[in-house]
Structure 1
Amino acid sequence: MMLKIVSLFLIFMVVLAMFGRLRLPGIGRKGGGKAQLPKPRLCPDCGRYNLRGGPCRHCRNDKG
Structure 2
Amino acid sequence: MLVKAVSLFLIFIAVLAMFGKLRLPGQKRIADVRCPKCGRYRIGKGPCPCNTPKKKS
Q: TM-score, normalised by structure 2?
A: 0.48
Choose between structure 1 and 2 for higher RCO, CA contacts under 8 A separated by at least 6 residues: 2
Q: Greater helix percent: which structure?
A: 2
Which structure would you say has the larger Rg? 1
